Amino acid sequence: MTTSDTSTSTPGTDRIDELRERMIIRLRAVNALHSEPVTRAVRTVPRHAFAPEFPLEEVYDPETVLRTRFADDGTATSSVSATWVQTLMLERARLRPGMRVLEVGSGGYNAALAAEVVGPAGSVTSLDIDPAVIDRARTHLTQAGYADRVELVVGDAEHGHPSSAPYDRIIVTAAATDLPPTWTHQLVDGGRLVLPLGVRGFQRVYAFTRHGALLLGETGNHAGFVPMQGLGASASTTVPVTDTVELTTDADPTPAPEALSAVFALPAQEQFTGVRIAGMEPFSALQMWMATGLPHFATLTGTADDFRYRPMTHALIPAMWDGTSLAYLLLPAVPDASATYEFVACGHGPDAADVVATMADHVRRWDRDHRGGPGPRFLAHPDFPPGDGIIRTRHTRLLALWDQAEEDHGLDWPADPGR
């Protein structure tokens, strides 16, 4: 197999080698890269060959996402992911020589890294719903010398790729909100599924191990990926509240926009929780705590001008909508306390006092029992009975385990996206 040739020293190759080694140092510093096989793959596979239109400094910056394809509205639909999350997922997959790997979501570089780790005795199949993405991956894999090591397939992630199954590892590189049964069925018992899983709007990278019909998860890492397309696209619904505020929910039936708008226009009730954080303290575990346990959970988006106090994030604001009343969580600065903020629950509607109290109590429970912790593990099984902590999706049931979290495979950066 032909790989990048670094035997001849030229200004170009010297610069690439320097940037690559600098990237490796940074990846190791945040524990996104630690094993010798993955490190060797990063040194071997020429990342710039898979993103020739981008400057080398961006290609070898471990935090930079290289967006390569866009929808009509400008939303990215395909990208070469940031190196830190690619190596993190490969490390969490625990690849070994001879393994069979399915990659869901293609770009070329990640598949080439996996091919290096599993070696000639292994195999890598890369699947994408977009023929143009597969064509691009094929071009760059060929140029980099990996065309004979990666099978490229056009198809919907929902179906996997049964003709090359079973797989020892499945690595998903688009944000999933569900776990289709084909992934479990095409994974060997004891095999690992690594993916960015969105749970009611909040996304982390999780590793699951198959035990029969059960997928046993580990604690997650913060990350952001392009959304899944096709049959596995998110089933959430976004409803306008005002011209600039929107509510996203999995609720059925979907809230009526006029009902939401009328409630949001009512005077707000509020309850300060007494839970304070310093300016740079992460709180994404609180977001996941609310997403997995708060009844009637939803998220709001809006600008600072839309609310009385500072929103928790620049993206998703935890909220709840019970059909008649709306509550959401804000984070105003504490007067006379430098860079300190206190969570406040705000609500509108006939039962505003109740939904505000429920939300505030949830924040206090997180502060008492889970603050500073790694966040939940998830168990996934299609037949979990309904109950507290069970999140129902189209294909499976997710059980959030907050008191049995394993090692936090956490990183020092990128910055917590809760910020």
Question: Highest mean pLDDT: which of 327-341, 342-356, 381-395?
Answer: 342-356
Single pTM value for the model: 0.88
What's the pLDDT tens digit per position in 114-157? 999 999 999 999 999 999 999 999 999 999 999 999 999 999 99
**What span, in angstroms and rounded, lies between the C-alpha atoms of 34 and 309?**
42
What's the mean pLDDT when you consider all of the chain? 89
**What span, in angstroms and rounded, lies between the C-alpha atoms of 292 and 317?**
14
CA 122 to each of CA 24, 336, 401: distance values in angstroms, whole numbers, following the listed order: 25, 61, 34
Question: Which tokens is 351 given?
Answer: 């039962």
What's the pLDDT tens digit per position in 90-119? 999 999 999 999 999 999 999 999 999 999
**What span, in angstroms and rounded, lies between the C-alpha atoms of 398 and 389?**
8
pLDDT at 170 exceeding the cut of 60: yes
Q: Which residue is associated with the tokens 């790989």? A: 3
Positive or negative: CA dihedral 397, 403, 404, 410: positive
Contact 374, 219 (CB under 8 A): yes
Contacts of 55 (CB under 8 A, 6+ apart): none
Q: Burial of 30 by CB count in 10 Å (0-12 exposed, 13-18 middle, 19+ buried)?
A: middle
Give 1's pLDDT tier (boundaries 50, 70, 90): very low
Buried b / exposed e over 242-252, threshold 16 CB at 10 Å, is eeebbbbbbbe
**What span, in angstroms and rounded, lies between the C-alpha atoms of 190 and 398?**
19
Other beta carbons less than 10 A from residue 349's beta carbon: 24
Average pLDDT, integer, range 296-313: 85
More confident residue, 53 or 125: 125
More confident residue, 6 or 56: 56
- Which positions are annotated as active-site residues? 81
Contact 381, 396 (CB under 8 A): yes
What pLDDT was estimated at residue 96?
Answer: 98
What's the pLDDT tens digit per position in 214-267? 999 998 888 888 889 999 988 889 999 999 999 999 877 788 999 999 999 999
